[in-house]
Amino acid sequence: MEVITFGESMVLFYPDATGPLRYATSFRKTIAGAESNVAIAMARLGHSVGWFSKLGADEFGRYILSVIRGEGVDVSRVLTDPARNTGLLFKERFGFSNPNIYYYRKDSAASSLSAADLDAAYISGVRILHITGITPALSPAARGAVFEAIRIAKESNVLISFDPNIRLKLWNIETAKPILLEIASKADILLIGEDEGKLLIGTEVPEKIAEAFMNKGCSTVVVKLGKKGCYAENLKEKAYVEGYLIEKVEDTVGAGDGFSAGFLAGILRGLGLREAAEYGNGVGAMATLVSGDMEGFPTYEQLMTFIGKTGYVDR
Amino acid sequence: MEVITFGESMVLFYPDATGPLRYATSFRKTIAGAESNVAIAMARLGHSVGWFSKLGADEFGRYILSVIRGEGVDVSRVLTDPARNTGLLFKERFGFSNPNIYYYRKDSAASSLSAADLDAAYISGVRILHITGITPALSPAARGAVFEAIRIAKESNVLISFDPNIRLKLWNIETAKPILLEIASKADILLIGEDEGKLLIGTEVPEKIAEAFMNKGCSTVVVKLGKKGCYAENLKEKAYVEGYLIEKVEDTVGAGDGFSAGFLAGILRGLGLREAAEYGNGVGAMATLVSGDMEGFPTYEQLMTFIGKTGYVDR
Amino acid sequence: MEVITFGESMVLFYPDATGPLRYATSFRKTIAGAESNVAIAMARLGHSVGWFSKLGADEFGRYILSVIRGEGVDVSRVLTDPARNTGLLFKERFGFSNPNIYYYRKDSAASSLSAADLDAAYISGVRILHITGITPALSPAARGAVFEAIRIAKESNVLISFDPNIRLKLWNIETAKPILLEIASKADILLIGEDEGKLLIGTEVPEKIAEAFMNKGCSTVVVKLGKKGCYAENLKEKAYVEGYLIEKVEDTVGAGDGFSAGFLAGILRGLGLREAAEYGNGVGAMATLVSGDMEGFPTYEQLMTFIGKTGYVDR
Amino acid sequence: MEVITFGESMVLFYPDATGPLRYATSFRKTIAGAESNVAIAMARLGHSVGWFSKLGADEFGRYILSVIRGEGVDVSRVLTDPARNTGLLFKERFGFSNPNIYYYRKDSAASSLSAADLDAAYISGVRILHITGITPALSPAARGAVFEAIRIAKESNVLISFDPNIRLKLWNIETAKPILLEIASKADILLIGEDEGKLLIGTEVPEKIAEAFMNKGCSTVVVKLGKKGCYAENLKEKAYVEGYLIEKVEDTVGAGDGFSAGFLAGILRGLGLREAAEYGNGVGAMATLVSGDMEGFPTYEQLMTFIGKTGYVDR
Amino acid sequence: MEVITFGESMVLFYPDATGPLRYATSFRKTIAGAESNVAIAMARLGHSVGWFSKLGADEFGRYILSVIRGEGVDVSRVLTDPARNTGLLFKERFGFSNPNIYYYRKDSAASSLSAADLDAAYISGVRILHITGITPALSPAARGAVFEAIRIAKESNVLISFDPNIRLKLWNIETAKPILLEIASKADILLIGEDEGKLLIGTEVPEKIAEAFMNKGCSTVVVKLGKKGCYAENLKEKAYVEGYLIEKVEDTVGAGDGFSAGFLAGILRGLGLREAAEYGNGVGAMATLVSGDMEGFPTYEQLMTFIGKTGYVDR
Amino acid sequence: MEVITFGESMVLFYPDATGPLRYATSFRKTIAGAESNVAIAMARLGHSVGWFSKLGADEFGRYILSVIRGEGVDVSRVLTDPARNTGLLFKERFGFSNPNIYYYRKDSAASSLSAADLDAAYISGVRILHITGITPALSPAARGAVFEAIRIAKESNVLISFDPNIRLKLWNIETAKPILLEIASKADILLIGEDEGKLLIGTEVPEKIAEAFMNKGCSTVVVKLGKKGCYAENLKEKAYVEGYLIEKVEDTVGAGDGFSAGFLAGILRGLGLREAAEYGNGVGAMATLVSGDMEGFPTYEQLMTFIGKTGYVDR
């Protein structure tokens, strides 16, 4: 296994039309989860990836399991909590603005994930452990699991990748800030958005965000800049890497997770900072060509063609 | 207002196909709630009915409110709890057997309904207060609301109608039994199923069930017997009243609530026991002609035609 | 051309679910029309058939035209009335009982069809003119068209086939009866239902119905008996011909029109009364295997297999 | 009751795809009606509103009634005409251009609404009576109802609000013009489009339109200018009030009715001309964020946030 | 008959959403075929048109037949191959880029069409024979049919119209080029795209493309330039004719076929080169207003209005 | 790995309605394949199962792979043929009779599977190799793969299970018979239908079928008798084992594969003949409770409850 990640995946219900949900007549079912998005994207790029979480002993848990397993991600460490439901979320869309989200995840199975649920041997054998700032927001137990996983990884020289993924619907910034900063300070690779820099460090300037976290101990910081691309810095170099132009964006959800997956794939392949950032930009851009969180993630061949490393790709 | 009832209504999601929910691709949205079913059925029969509950300050709460208000039920006392979600449920169907149900109602807005939420003047002015055994299963607070409502009704000589509606997914029979028996002992009209008699009294024999509850203080007991009809008893008479034959049952959900509504409508119209039971049988039978909980409830004219009191009804 | 028929075809909207239409969220569009059903069924059996009506100069008229033309029916005499709408109908289904029907056909384009709209040369060149009792119910003008078509047919020795198709939503029996009896008395072939015999002649006994109309001048009378088959009588013979058993009926609509088409196809092929009746029973039965009015009508080869004249048909 | 309005609401069928209706396979059902749109929008803004019309005694009428009642509008004066159908309309969309409309409303139940149907006490007790120019186009009887309602309102010092809503599919401009001008001259508040000014007064210049109607006796004239906002004038002031920029318009239908509702809500709250116009612009803009006529109308809180009077609104 | 064309039409399946087909849950069925598109477009413009192909003896073949016949195209020469399937294709869409296409047409019924299947009398009696470069790509037999049809047409002075429609999924350019050039050299009217000029002649310059083919013996060459319009040249004149601006393009598929149909319709009506090109531009532009290949083709009246030859058309 | 099976899985398209496919407007996508059905059913029962085939390098192949992998089946040996399509099939339903099937599988990727594609080590390490009579019908190469797999299994003392699954749409009985008999004679466990016995042995009598194949060398023969259950015989015992009554059968497809999976699971668990047959009957019966081929297969716990070995199962 090259990469492991863990965190809550939920069943996501999309309404059949824009507008207030009370007028929607039917809903399409799919899955959502920042960590499973990264796992799926990396599996599609050809890496061996493991993902785990705690699921309810219900049909929605079985659904999530079969989708993620179907994508070729190792799910051998997924746990089941027979006493809790699998979490749900509903999206509500208005024109081009961001969707509203209604969560049914309080006290979900995933929120009961704890340090005791971790298989240390599973984690210690990989090259990268990818963590997000959503998991510590779920519950004290889940927060404990995050710190224990970090401890295990550190012990075994597993690289720690961290995406803060700040969710103000789950906790307020006062509670979140010290915890996320602490996790970031333990991470090797930090993948962060401009707006998250503002919330955690007080600046949106990419170089300043990077500087702050390099000072805290990160060896690589990438500031995601949406369609503009990213700013990346490690101990040896720093660079703005421009994004790919998408004529018509179908759906930006999943682009950030795609970026992370692309960047980490580049790192795993031993690429330099700039090229890994191009991979990140490429996967992120391709994710926006398709509605749905993870349907648009490319294979390695598709990515190479998209970012111009090979000839025409006939998907 | 002639009748008031209260209790949790939820948004119900139906899958597009039979079989395990993990294979369903889309879900249709409607509402479910035993008490609002009774309210809607009685409003359609021409009575003035009020229903209330506590809803989340979300789109699902607004949806429930507009559907029940659209049916002509008074919703002026419905409350909103901005800190809790509106409850949900999902159905899973296999051939003819009963559907499996997945609840997302733990700690829902409705479960926070309490005695303090009651408008005594609203309750004390009606002829019948209809209560189910679902509400006391939601939370201690909701249980308190039930007993307080009973107290108010008693004080004002409002008739109390009670349907135990035992839900073993919400509480176990050991907890439920003493509470339901206590409520039943305070009720004037008890509307109960055979199987519920078994659980509460230890017998499925209609006459014995009725006898037990008449001894506890009820003045009218009706034992619902499904398609066979019902057994009804009051202080003056007792009778088996046969049900109406339905050639093709579309969906039995809502039939029990329809029965209750029909019977109570008969009481409000001053009918005798037997004729009120015919109304109950009629509304229950008509509910099964249509898929959906409440779509099949008839108007008074349709009911009269169906049970043969008038000529041809062109629905 | 072997056969001509004319009369109103409408756009039919089916709700997505059983129950009152106010709860239906979407509607499927198809066409309905007794005469076009007969035309399509006969075309599928291999006959050259013409159908005409007056359609609105709107998309619904264009839709009806393309569907019927697509089935291989000659539509060269279809007229357009730019001042009137194409008629519509909505169906509402409850369990197994007959659907309710909501018409939007008052003052439709078809109801303005008149004697002046007929192309005498078109009618006089065929072997059978098929007429229904729906057309004279639409308007006095349409009634005039029916009698003029009969006059033209008589003049040219074209056989007249008549199906009363009594529609009490369009006219009352007092108005309908004398007109339908007059048309029947001019018909060579009468295709009539038991219940229609009751309404027009006062008896449901097939032999008595046949006798009455033979006395009025018909040379062939077929009384349709639904799944039981039919009773057929002409100047030479009389017989009950048993229907084909259908294990699961999907939808009986179109079966009567299918019967008429099958019987007339038998006559055109020069078969005896009994065999023509078998054709009628066969097409009628096959129509019930499929939901939809006309989708289930068979080809000649399929019919032969179904009624056992050839081996296995792989539809 | 603060506001009353009346006029035809119909069932609206939307095809599942752009292009000619004959290629559409299914249709979604909703409701349409300029007056009920205004009523629903004002109810959502927190006002007590009554709406009435005449509906068919059919499922479509029941549907309209339950939707409008569900939105919290008083429907206690709605009438039923058992002899007529509820009106329908179908929309046909091509790219961005305005949809084509196919009406089935000739001789509908609403078109039989007459002066005799009005409840004078109901009308005389409100602050504003809102009328549109669609109702007088339906029939002479409906026209009579409009003038009688105006007479009642005048007698009781009820403010009269009028939106010409010129529908050239219902009557030609020669017939419409004198009647609409007469109604306008009796109105206190005129809400009119630029193009309607052109048709009625011969100029599209907002100031000139306003001047003409102020001279006819209106005390407030608002000329709606679509996304540009509006020009408003009363006896004390006059102003162009700019509209709100919408990044992606989903559907402009309902925006004009939303404007009227917003403006009248401002008047009821005692705002000045300019601020009332901002309310109108806001509601109109928000209606375009959502497909559907009335689904996008905001609550008062949502409106305040949208037009920047309060902080972020989490719809 | 004025025009005849022939070639493979297939059943086309559209997924319900953008993105990789493996995530699509349902597919909508329609038809696709360059030649039948031209036939349908010309029939809608009022011309008598015949189309033929070989279809499988299956439901998909029957479907194609009824759709094309329903559009008023003569299908009397369509053949059936009981040993082969009707061809299929699936489309996969990503944002605005061209869809991917998955063919199931190898060894299809249409690919067995051969010279022996042609009805010489049918072809020799028309004014224009329209051929595409798709048919010779299907099989050697189909290629033979194309050359035989050309021979028959030449013999009878039937004008030959040719659209190369290069499909690199069916054959490679090395194989295609000599064959398409040979066909083009026998054509009277060549309708060709810029990119096709590049592939066949080595230049995208419209005048150079035209010159090359005029030198090969064509008497009319039209180079289609998409939304820019076209360059047209015949023995007497040459001109760039500008296209019509479409505010929102729904779907460009079918635009090229619409252009061909419009241009040929102009030729049949005896128009000059420039005006025929305007017809082509108009039909092509109108096709893009509607999703679907052929649903957007106009009637002659609609076309006249669109290109400004008459007043407003209310479709 | 305990079990391996291989053979063609295809994408299956279900129409939205009963009746001829030409009238269906949309199609739902799922997968079909007798061998993958057995693999999925056994995986759900808790066994480690491998399945392989050759898939096209297309979206349909990727879809099949992710579904089967998602069910927990090992797909590590699945191959891809970039030169061929993944096979498809369409179903057409009429009332209760068996659906018609339209294949697009000729020359599919799976039909190119050959002996050279087998991984001998993969096969030789399992306890059971399950083979069907469909694979040898696909092509000579595929037939070669079947015999080579049998050879490998024999060499390693892997039990060979064989289900003839006769498909007369793929080959005629004359060709099929000797090949299927040869395979059967090499099998240890034969799972066969009554009607297949008739075709291969000339008798429908279960004991006679079993006797014939025991004489050919099978050590276990099970004759599947549909809802009646099965007749099972091995070297030690023989028995009729009654099936489970299903009140309402949703869909019988998949029942035979479910039977095989249940029986083989029993064998793997070391059960006696009769009990293994009960497992087979149970899985087969449960498959019919759900529409869809494989959605209804139970987990081990669900099976135990269904066949009465444990208490109530709350699926």
* Domain residue extents for chain E: 3-306
Instruction: Please pick, among B107, B257, B293, B314, the residue that the annotation labels catalytic.
Output: B257
At residue D18, the pLDDT reads 87
Name residues whose C-beta falls within 8 Å of residue F295's C-beta, 6 or more positions apart in sequence.
B19, B20, B23
List pLDDT tens digits, range F252-287.
Answer: 889 999 999 999 999 999 999 999 999 999 999 999
Q: Is the pLDDT of residue D293 over 50?
A: yes
CB contacts of D314 in chain B (<8 Å) are none
Question: Nearest 5 degrees, angle CA F109-CA F110-CA F113?
Answer: 105
At residue A93, the pLDDT reads 86
Q: Is the pLDDT of residue F127 over 80?
A: yes
List pLDDT tens digits, range A266-279.
Answer: 999 999 999 999 99
For residues F190 and E46, what is the distance between their CA atoms, to the nearest angstrom?
Answer: 65
End-to-end distance of chain E based on CA atoms, in angstroms? 27
At residue B93, the pLDDT reads 86
Task: Output helix, strand, coil percentages for chain C, rounded to the nearest 5.
Answer: 40, 20, 35
Q: How far is CA A63 from CA A101, B14, F43, in A?
A: 21, 16, 15
Name residues whose C-beta falls within 8 Å of residue F248's C-beta, 6 or more positions apart in sequence.
B95, B96
CB contacts of E295 in chain D (<8 Å) are 19-20, 23
Tokens 């820099």 belong to residue: A197
Q: Is the pLDDT of residue A113 over 80?
A: yes
Taking only Cα atoms into account, the Rg of chain B, rounded to an integer number of angstroms, comes to: 18
Interchain CB distance below 8 Å, D17 and E296:
no
Tokens 């004009």 belong to residue: D256
For residues E270 and E276, what is the distance between their CA atoms, to the nearest angstrom?
Answer: 9
Contact A161, A213 (CB under 8 A): no
User: CA quadruple E71, C1, C165, C152: dihedral positive or negative?
Assistant: positive
Q: Is the pLDDT of residue C96 over 70?
A: no
In order, the DSSP letters of D223-268 are: EE-GGGEEEEEESS-EEEEEPPP-SS-S--TTHHHHHHHHHHHHHH
CB contacts of F72 in chain A (<8 Å) are 66, 69
List pLDDT tens digits, range A64-103.
Answer: 999 999 999 999 999 999 999 999 999 998 876 678 999 9
In order, the DSSP letters of chain F are: --EEEE---EEEEEESSSS-GGG--EEEEEEE-HHHHHHHHHHHTT--EEEE-EEESSHHHHHHHHHHHHTT-B-TT-EEETTSPPPEEEEE--TTSPPEEEEE-TT-TGGG--GGG--HHHHHTSSEEEEESSHHHH-HHHHHHHHHHHHHHHHTT-EEEEE----TTTS-HHHHHHHHHHHHHH-SEEEEEHHHHHHHHS---HHHHHHHHHHHT-SEEEEE-GGGEEEEEESS-EEEEEPPP-SS-S--TTHHHHHHHHHHHHHHTT--HHHHHHHHHHHHHHHTTSSSSSTTPPPHHHHHHHTTSSS----
At residue B94, the pLDDT reads 82
Determine the distance in angstroms separating the CA of B203 from the nearest CA of chain F, rounded to an integer.
22
Chains that touch A (3 or more CB pairs under 8 A): B, C, D, E, F
- Which H, E and C letters describe A100-168, residue by residue? EEEEECCCCCHHHCCHHHCCHHHHHCCCEEEEECCHHHHCHHHHHHHHHHHHHHHHCCCEEEEECCCCC
Q: Give the pLDDT mean for B172-186.
A: 98
Q: Which two tokens stand for residue F16?
A: 């939205």
E strand or H helix at C110:
none
Determine the distance in angstroms separating the CA of C17 from the nearest CA of chain B, rounded to an integer.
8
CB atoms within 10 A of CB C3: 28
Interchain CB distance below 8 Å, F67 and A70:
yes
Name residues whose C-beta falls within 8 Å of residue D64's C-beta, 6 or more positions apart in sequence.
D9, D10, D11, D31, D33, D36, D53, D55, D86
* Closest residue to D23, CB basis, from E248, E295, E315: E295
* Closest to F103 measured CA to CA, from F199, F193, F168: F168
For residue F67, the chain A residue with the least C-alpha distance is: A70
CB contacts of E26 in chain B (<8 Å) are 25
CB contacts of B20 in chain F (<8 Å) are 290, 295-296, 315
Which residue would you say has higher pLDDT here, C58 or F314?
C58
Q: Give the pLDDT mean for C39-68.
A: 98
Interface of E with B in 211-250 (CB under 8 A): none
Provide the pLDDT confidence category of residue F8 given band limits of 50, 70 and 90: very high
- Tell which CATH architecture fits domain C3-306: 3-Layer(aba) Sandwich (3.40)
Interchain CB distance below 8 Å, D26 and C24:
no
Determine the distance in angstroms separating the CA of A18 from the nearest CA of chain D, rounded to an integer.
6
At residue B216, the pLDDT reads 96
CB contacts of D20 in chain E (<8 Å) are 290, 295-296, 315
List pLDDT tens digits, range B13-66.
Answer: 999 888 999 999 999 999 999 999 999 999 999 999 999 999 999 999 999 999
- Does the beta carbon of E14 lie under 8 angstroms from any beta carbon of chain F? no
Determine the distance in angstroms separating the CA of B71 from the nearest CA of chain D, rounded to an integer.
6
Interchain CB distance below 8 Å, A20 and D250:
no
Q: Which two tokens stand for residue D1?
A: 């009751």
CB contacts of C23 in chain B (<8 Å) are 292, 295
For residue F25, the chain C residue with the least C-alpha distance is: C28
Beta bridge partners of D223: D192, D231
At residue C83, the pLDDT reads 95
CB atoms within 10 A of CB F310: 12
For residues A70 and F73, what is the distance between their CA atoms, to the nearest angstrom?
Answer: 10
Q: Is the pLDDT of residue C312 over 60?
A: no
Provide the pLDDT confidence category of residue D251 given band limits of 50, 70 and 90: confident
User: CA quadruple F209, F213, F219, F221: dihedral positive or negative?
Assistant: negative
Determine the distance in angstroms separating the CA of E26 from the nearest CA of chain B, rounded to an integer.
10
At residue F311, the pLDDT reads 46
At residue F290, the pLDDT reads 87
Provide the pLDDT confidence category of residue F132 given band limits of 50, 70 and 90: very high
Give the catalytic positions of D in this structure: 257
Determine the distance in angstroms separating the CA of A280 from the nearest CA of chain F, rounded to an integer.
24
Residues of chain E with pLDDT under 50: 311-315
CA atoms within 13 Å, Cβ hemisphere of E210: 20
For residues E129 and B297, what is the distance between their CA atoms, to the nearest angstrom?
Answer: 64
- Helical residues (DSSP H) of B126-254, grouped into ranges: 135-138, 140-155, 173-186, 194-201, 206-216
Interchain CB distance below 8 Å, A94 and D289:
yes
Contact B244, B238 (CB under 8 A): no
For residues D33 and D253, what is the distance between their CA atoms, to the nearest angstrom?
Answer: 11
- Number of Cβ pairs < 8 A linking chain B and chain D: 16
**How many helices and strands (H and E) does chain A possess?**
11, 14
List pLDDT tens digits, range E194-251.
Answer: 999 999 999 999 999 999 999 999 999 999 999 999 999 999 999 999 999 887 788 8
- Does the beta carbon of F40 lie under 8 angstroms from any beta carbon of chain A? no
Interchain CB distance below 8 Å, B69 and D67:
no
Percent of chain C at pLDDT exceeding 90 = 89
Average pLDDT in chain C? 94
* Closest residue to B100, CB basis, from F250, F288, F315: F315
List pLDDT tens digits, range F200-243.
Answer: 999 999 999 999 999 999 999 999 999 999 999 999 999 999 99
Interchain CB distance below 8 Å, B247 and C95:
yes
Q: Give the pLDDT mean for C130-148.
A: 98
Beta bridge partners of C29: C13
User: CA quadruple D76, D81, D85, D91: dihedral positive or negative?
Assistant: negative
Q: Give the pLDDT mean for B273-279.
A: 97
At residue B270, the pLDDT reads 97
CB contacts of B95 in chain F (<8 Å) are 246-250, 288-290
Any catalytic annotation for residue A293? no
- Number of Cβ pairs < 8 A linking chain C and chain F: 40
* Closest residue to C295, CB basis, from F20, F96, F100: F20
For residue B99, the chain F residue with the least C-alpha distance is: F315
- Does the beta carbon of C301 lie under 8 angstroms from any beta carbon of chain F? no
List pLDDT tens digits, range B60-109.
Answer: 999 999 999 999 999 999 999 999 999 999 999 887 667 899 999 999 99
Provide the pLDDT confidence category of residue A124 given band limits of 50, 70 and 90: very high
CA atoms within 13 Å, Cβ hemisphere of C282: 26
CB contacts of B96 in chain F (<8 Å) are 247-248
Provide the pLDDT confidence category of residue F315 given band limits of 50, 70 and 90: very low
* Closest residue to D104, CB basis, from C28, C66, C85: C85
At residue F93, the pLDDT reads 87
Q: Is the pLDDT of residue C13 over 60?
A: yes
Contact D191, D263 (CB under 8 A): yes
Sheet strands (E) in chain A:
3-6, 10-15, 26-32, 49-52, 54-56, 79-81, 88-92, 100-104, 128-132, 159-163, 189-193, 220-224, 229-234, 238-242
At residue A253, the pLDDT reads 86
Query: Sheet harboring C3-6: ordered strands across?
Result: C49-52, C3-6, C128-132, C159-163, C189-193, C220-224, C229-234, C238-242
Determine the distance in angstroms separating the CA of C91 from the nearest CA of chain A, rounded to an integer.
21
Q: Which two tokens stand for residue C266?
A: 């038998």
Interchain CB distance below 8 Å, A69 and F70:
yes
- Does the beta carbon of C119 lie under 8 angstroms from any beta carbon of chain B? no
For residue A17, the chain D residue with the least C-alpha distance is: D291
At residue A315, the pLDDT reads 34
Provide the pLDDT confidence category of residue C311 given band limits of 50, 70 and 90: very low
At residue A313, the pLDDT reads 35
Percent of chain F at pLDDT exceeding 90 = 89
Average pLDDT in chain A? 94
Provide the pLDDT confidence category of residue D178 given band limits of 50, 70 and 90: very high
